[in-house]
Structure 1
Amino acid sequence: MLTDARTGRFITQRQVPRLALTKVTIDPSSNTLGLSAPTTSTLHLALNPRDADLSSQYKVRVWYDDVYGSSSSEAAQKWLTAFVGKPTRLLYRDSRETRLVPRYLPGDPTCHLLPQSGFADVFPFHTITEPSLSHVN
């Protein structure tokens, strides 16, 4: 998730339309994610960094919830800050962190369901319609 490094709030493409120019690639053989954009070099990041590789933990706000994320590399922060135009941080969801979302979906006591999400707006899945998808592609 991208966050404003000064405020700790998440950043979306609605706020920074320039993010639409980014291209994300995944290389399963090296277990890396590539991030590129016009006039930039490609940034390569580990898809599943070890806890020891994550430099710091930050409290961030996703809508009405405060959650923690682990910071990616300094190189990623510099790349994103230059591209976005303001101090920006890329965070991984901390695997030790749970974000319960019971106000949107009550739990089910019979199966001990406690709705939770990572950095998604509300739930760990989103729905998109065929016309919207064809417009994006």
Structure 2
Amino acid sequence: MLRLSGLYRYPLKSAMAEPLREAQLDALGVAGDRRWMVVDAASGRFLTQRLLPQMTQLQARWQGAEQLRLSAPGMADLLVAVPGEQAELRGVTIWRDSLRVPDAGEAAARWLSQVLGRDCRLVQVSEARARQVDTAYAEVGDKVAFADGFPLLLIGQGSLDDLSRRVGRPLEMLRFRPNLVVEGAAPYAEDDWKRIRVGTLEFRVAKGCSRCIMTTLDPQTGERSADREPLTTLRGYRQREGEVYFGQNLIACGSGELALGMPVEVLE
């Protein structure tokens, strides 16, 4: 039987994962997931572990619905309020999308600039300001917060186990930053899924997730694999048209609750 064995959110894009036992889903995916983002102060372009591996050491945790707690080694924690209606709007760029979103203020900017060693700002997005998901794979009205392209990412535990065997050492699931992990399926079975149900919630499988250099970072230490694994191995058998794929992007067909252990059913 297939079941939900892992459930994660990432309150701040490219910061530490937050393991969950249960979660609410809203119009943008897991409630509170990737609603905050660090951007370059001058250009507004999004910043991630691809450029700043030290972001692996940055923790962000929601404190209720109106505050975020930021933590990093050697720094006092900082509480940041969700920007109000009067907050300054900042133009930001994430991949090909440009949007205007509220800036979280000077204290957060100073704190993050000290941690990351460059001038940056913290921004936040609400459902009203969220981006349209690529309509080549989604319907008009499907929205995403600050995730790269889709509101949810699913990975089969069997796929990671197979990849670990090929690489020759255990790999951490969090290298791949999924929201949902499903166990009980054959390796890469999720490649062929089109619709699934988890508990009572249905999801459309939009497309495979193309992978980048971030997968070579140890999620605990931020150190990059000297052998560029697991990307090197993935290129050997999971590459097509110049992209390497691992995991599947999902879009939820409504809102509701998820919890670890829920059954997963392949509908199509």
TM-score, normalization by structure 2: 0.43
Structure 1: state its 5+ residue gaps. Answer: 108-112
Instruction: Give the number of aligned pairs.
Output: 128
**Superposition misfits of 4+ residues, deviation over 4 angstroms:** 134-137
Alpha-carbon spacing, 1:129–1:6, altered in 2? closer, same or farther (3 Å): farther
Are 1:20 and 2:56 matched, yes or no?
A: yes
1:117 to 125, 139, 144: 144
Larger radius of gyration: 2
> Counterpart of 1:110?
none
Query: The residue matched to 1:96 in structure 2 has which SS?
Result: helix
Structure 2: state its 5+ residue gaps. Answer: 1-36, 161-171, 176-218, 221-268
1:3 to 36, 39, 42: 39
What is the alpha-carbon distance in structure 1 between the residues aligned to residue 174 and residue 134 of structure 2? 33
**Is the Cα contact below 8 Å between 1:102 and 1:114 reproduced in 2?**
no
Query: Structure 1 residue 117: deviation in Å?
Result: 1.6
Give 1:1-137 correspondences, 5 Å limit: 1-28=37-64, 31-46=66-81, 48-52=82-86, 54=87, 56-107=88-139, 113-130=140-157, 131=160, 132-133=172-173, 136=219
Hey, which of these two has a bigger chunk of strand by percent? 2
What is the alpha-carbon distance in structure 2 between the residues aligned to residue 104 and residue 127 of structure 1? 19
**Is the Cα contact below 8 Å between 1:105 and 1:115 reproduced in 2?**
no
Query: Structure 1 residue 65: deviation in Å?
Result: 1.1
The two structures, once aligned, show a CA RMSD in angstroms of: 2.4
| Percent of aligned positions that are identical | 29
TM-score, normalization by structure 1: 0.78
Higher relative contact order (CA closer than 8 Å, sequence separation 6+): 2
